[in-house]
Structure 1
Amino acid sequence: MRVRLKGINTVRRKLADGTIRTHHYHRATGTKLPGEPGSAEFLAAFEAAGRTAALARSAGTVAWLIRQYQASRAWTKKLSETTRENAQFDVRACEAKWGTTPLKIVENPRSRPGFLRWHEQLAEAHPRAADMKLSRLATIFAWGVDQGHLAHNPIATFERAYRSDRSERIWMPEHVAAFAAAATPEIWLAMMLALHTGQRQGDLLTLSWSAWDGHAITLRQGKSRRLVFVPATRALKAALDAAPRRATTILVAVRGAPWRKRRFHEVWSETFAAARITEDLHFHDLRGTAVTMLAEAGCTVPEIATITGHSQAHAQKILDRYLARTRSLAESAIAKLDDHRRNRVGLQTDLQTA
C-alpha cells in the first residue's frame, strides 16, 4: 500500500534532450528528497527534513532545548539505554506542559513559582512521579545553562514531595531463609548474586558468563559506569560453579532464555509473596544488605564502596542505619528476656507463698 505524504513539492523539468526529470522537495525546508517516493531512502530523508523543520519552528523554546539535549553526549553517551528509556516518559510530560515556553521566560527568575505549582499539582496524586519529572526538567535546564542556551536555571533546587529512605531496609537471615525455601533455582541464583556482590538488578540480569573468571566477577555498572571487581565468596563460587550455562547470561528464566525485566519482576514478586515475608523488602535492598555483610566481615567503608559501587558516604549511611536497627533489636530482645525472668521469679514466689 502506497502512503501519500503531505508537505512535498513535486517539480518536473524538461531536459535539453526532451526527457522529463521529476524532483521531489520537502516543502517546509526546501530539502531535496533522494530516491523514489515510497522507498526507504526517500522516507528517511522526508522524516529527517521534518525533524529539521520542527526544530526550526521550536527554536528558542523548551521543546528546542530538549531536542538539543537529547542529541548531546549528556543524553546519548552518559546515560545508559535503560535510563534513557525510563527518562523518556518524563521528558515527554515536560515537553507537553512546557514545550512552547520561550527560553527567555524560563531564564527569568520569576518563572520559578510556575514550575513549582506544576510540581505541587502532580504531587497531589503521584509525589514520586512529580519529583522525577521536575528533576528531569531541572537537568535539561542545567545542561542548557552549561551550553550557554540559558542564563539561569529557575529550578536548580526544589523541595521534593516524595520522601523515602530505604537505607535501613535490610534482608535479615530469616528473610533470606524464607525466600530460599520458596525460590526456584533460577531465582535463588539471582538472590545469591545480589547478596554476594551488591550489584543492581539491571546489571545482574545482563551479566554474562564472560564476566566470571572462576574466582571473581568484573563488570561495568550501567548507571555509574564504574568498573568493579568483585571476588567471589565461597558460597557464590559454589553456586556459580554448579549453575548450568544455558545462555550467554548467567541469570536465565526457567526455559533457559535471558530474563526480560518485567518477567523477572513478576516472578520475584510471586516468590516473595510465597515466602510470606511480612517486612517491606525489595530486590534493591539486597545492595544495602551486601554492604552490611561486608562490614560484618571486617571490610572498611572504602573497601565496601570499591566492591558495590556505592559512594563512601552512602555506604556509611547504610551502616549507620543498620547499626541503629540492630541496636533496637538487641534492646527488644533484652527487654523480653527481662520480662521472662521477672515472670519466672514472680511465679516461683507465688508457689512458695501458696
Structure 2
Amino acid sequence: MPPSHRTGLNVARKRRKDGTTIEYFYDRASGKFLGHDRAAAEEARQRLSLTPMQAAGIQPGSINALILDYLQSEAFRSLRGTTQKLYRGYLDRMREDWGDIPARAITRQDVLAIRERLSATPRKANQVLSLLQILLGRARETGIVQENVAERFGRLHIASRTEIWSYQMEDAFLERARPALQLAYMLLLYTLQRPSDMLAMGAGRISTRDGRMFIALRQAKTGALLDVPVHTRLAPHIARRLDELNADEASVAQIITARIGLGPERLLVPSPTGKPWAHRNFARAWDQVISRMAHAQARRLFAAGRTKEEVRAELENQHRQRRDLRRTGIVRLAEAGATTPQIAAISGHGIDYCQRIIDTYLPRRTEVALAGMEVWEKHQVRETTKIVSIAASRGRLM
C-alpha cells in the first residue's frame, strides 16, 4: 500500500470498472482497516492511539490514574484474593471521592482532613490512609509528585477486642442454634481457625491416625498448611456430620451419576441449600442466634428490676462475635497448660503473635492465678535452696 501524506494513515486506491476511484484507509501502526472516508478514518485512528486511561477519560497524574496504575501492577496482583477484594472496595470509594483530583494538589492538610473525617471508623480511616500512601509513593517514584504527603502520618488507634466467650454464653448459643451452626461454633472454638477457613472445611479433609481425628486445611489468609488434631468434644459432632454425608450420598447416588461432572457437596457446615455459605448469609444466620440470646437475657434483666439503660449496657457488655471464639480457644488452651508453640501449631499464628495474645489475656484471668497458686501449694518444699545455703555459708565465713 502506498503511504499517505497524512501522518498515521496508509491509503490504497483502486479504480473501478466505471472509472471511479475508491480509497482504502489503514492505520499505519496496526494495519487495521479504517474505512473509505478520510475524515472518519482519521478520527478512528486517533481513537486507536489513545491509551486505555485516555479512552476512559482519566486525566494523567490524577488519583484515578494512580488507582488504575496500581490495580494493573505486580504489587497488587501478588496480593491474596481476599486482600485484593478488600482493597478494591476502598479504592472504589477513593475514586468516587477524589478521583479527578491531581495527585500534585493533595497536601498534608488534605490528608489530615481525610483522617479527621473518617475518625469515627478508625479501621477504615487507617486503611484509606495506607492505600493513599501506596498510591502517592508510586507517584513519587515516577516523578508525578515530589513528596509523599501521606507518608509517616499518624494512624488512628484501634482498641483490640478483649472479649472471650464464657461457658454460660456457649451453652446459651448452642441451645438456640440449629445443628449446622452448633457444629460451626464447635469448629471455630476447637480448631482456632477463622470463619472463612471453617466454612471451607469438607469431609475430604478429615483423617484418622492412631485413633485421633485430624482436620487438614490451608489458611486462606496466610497460606499456612495445618493438620489440626480434633478435640474429643468436637469429634462426635464431626462423626455425626460424616454419617449424614454418607447417608445423603447413598440416597442420591443415581442422580449424581446421571449428571456428569456434578457431585454432592461434602462441606462440614453447608448453607441450608447444601452449598457453600455466602459470608453475609452466614453472618446473618449467626446474628439471629445472638439476637435470640440477647432477647432472653433482656427479659431476665427486666424481670429482675433493671432499668432500660442498665439492660442496654449489660447487653453491650456481654455481646460476643464469631471472631472472639478463636481468642477464646487460645486462652482456654493456655489455661490448660499448653505451651505457646503448641498453641501456634494449632491456630497457625506466628509464635510471637500468639504469645502477645496470651500476654494480653491471661494475666487478668483469675482462673490462671488460682491454678498457679494451687500448683505452688502442691509443691511446697521446706528445704533451704542452694542459693540460700551459699549465702548463709558466706555469712559464716565473714
Q: After TM superposition, is the score higher than 0.5?
A: yes
Query: Do 2:176 and 2:292's aligned partners in 1 also have CA atoms closer than 8 Å?
Result: yes
Q: What CA deviation, in whole Å up to 9, does each residue of 1:135-158 have, x standing for no partner?
A: 332344455567887664322343
Q: Which amino acid aligns with 1:89?
A: G
| Corresponding position of 2:62 | 61
Q: In structure 1, what is the Cα distance between the partners aligned to 2:329 and 2:45?
A: 58
Q: How does 1:52-131 map to 2 (within 5 A)?
A: 52-54=53-55, 57-80=58-81, 82-105=82-105, 111-123=107-119, 125-131=120-126
Q: How does 1:248-263 map to 2 (within 5 A)?
A: 248-263=266-281
Q: What CA deviation, in whole Å up to 9, does each residue of 1:255-290 have, x standing for no partner?
A: 322211111111101111223464121001111112
Query: Do 1:131 and 1:161's aligned partners in 2 also have CA atoms closer than 8 Å?
Result: yes
Select the residue among 301, 306, 309 that pairs with 2:345. Answer: 306
Deviation at 1:75, TM superposition (A): 2.2
Select the residue among 176, 179, 182 that pairs with 1:182. Answer: 176
Give aligned pairs, total: 298
Deviation at 1:161, TM superposition (A): 3.7
| Corresponding position of 2:48 | 31
TM-score where L is the length of structure 1: 0.71
Secondary structure of 1:234's counterpart equals coil
Deviation at 1:194, TM superposition (A): 0.6
Q: In structure 2, what is the Cα distance between the partners aligned to 1:309 and 1:161?
A: 28
Select the residue among 217, 221, 224 that pairs with 1:223. Answer: 221
Query: Do 2:206 and 2:214's aligned partners in 1 also have CA atoms closer than 8 Å?
Result: yes
Q: What CA deviation, in whole Å up to 9, does each residue of 1:23-66 have, x standing for no partner?
A: 4778485429xxxxxxxxxxxxxxxx773434784323322221
Query: Do 1:192 and 1:236's aligned partners in 2 also have CA atoms closer than 8 Å?
Result: yes
With 262-271 and 297-306 compared, the bigger mean Cα shift is at 297-306
| Corresponding position of 1:136 | 131
Give the direction of change, closer, same or farther, for the CA distance of 1:178–1:98 in structure 2 (3 Å limit).
Answer: same
Q: In structure 2, what is the Cα distance between the partners aligned to 1:330 and 1:274?
A: 34
Does residue 293 in structure 1 map to residue 337 in structure 2? no
Question: Structure 2: any 5+ residue segments left out of the alignment?
Answer: 1-9, 25-32, 36-40, 246-263, 298-314, 371-398
| Corresponding position of 2:291 | 273
With 70-79 and 138-147 compared, the bigger mean Cα shift is at 138-147
Q: In structure 1, what is the Cα distance between the partners aligned to 2:330 and 2:142?
A: 39
Q: In structure 2, what is the Cα distance between the partners aligned to 1:53 and 1:312?
A: 49
Q: Which amino acid aligns with 1:298?
A: G
Give the direction of change, closer, same or farther, for the CA distance of 1:319–1:255 in structure 2 (3 Å limit).
Answer: same
Query: Do 1:55 and 1:67's aligned partners in 2 also have CA atoms closer than 8 Å?
Result: no
Give the direction of change, closer, same or farther, for the CA distance of 1:145–1:312 in structure 2 (3 Å limit).
Answer: farther
Q: CA RMSD in A?
A: 3.4
Q: Which amino acid aligns with 2:215?
A: I
Q: In structure 1, what is the Cα distance between the partners aligned to 2:147 and 2:129?
A: 16
Q: Percent identity?
A: 28
Q: In structure 2, what is the Cα distance between the partners aligned to 1:151 and 1:313?
A: 38
Query: Do 1:197 and 1:307's aligned partners in 2 also have CA atoms closer than 8 Å?
Result: yes
Give the direction of change, closer, same or farther, for the CA distance of 1:145–1:174 in structure 2 (3 Å limit).
Answer: farther
Q: Which amino acid aligns with 1:303?
A: Q
Q: What CA deviation, in whole Å up to 9, does each residue of 1:167-217 have, x standing for no partner?
A: x21112221111111111100111111101111112222233333334322
Give the direction of change, closer, same or farther, for the CA distance of 1:104–1:267 in structure 2 (3 Å limit).
Answer: same
Q: In structure 1, what is the Cα distance between the partners aligned to 2:121 and 2:219?
A: 29
| Corresponding position of 1:45 | none
Query: Do 2:330 and 2:343's aligned partners in 1 also have CA atoms closer than 8 Å?
Result: yes
Q: In structure 2, what is the Cα distance between the partners aligned to 1:193 and 1:146?
A: 47
Question: Structure 1: any 5+ residue segments left out of the alignment?
Answer: 1-10, 33-48, 332-354
Query: Do 1:91 and 1:137's aligned partners in 2 also have CA atoms closer than 8 Å?
Result: no
Secondary structure of 1:218's counterpart equals strand
Q: In structure 1, what is the Cα distance between the partners aligned to 2:14 and 2:319?
A: 77
Query: Do 1:170 and 1:285's aligned partners in 2 also have CA atoms closer than 8 Å?
Result: yes
Query: Do 1:220 and 1:226's aligned partners in 2 also have CA atoms closer than 8 Å?
Result: yes
Query: Do 2:335 and 2:368's aligned partners in 1 also have CA atoms closer than 8 Å?
Result: no
Q: Which amino acid aligns with 2:127?
A: M
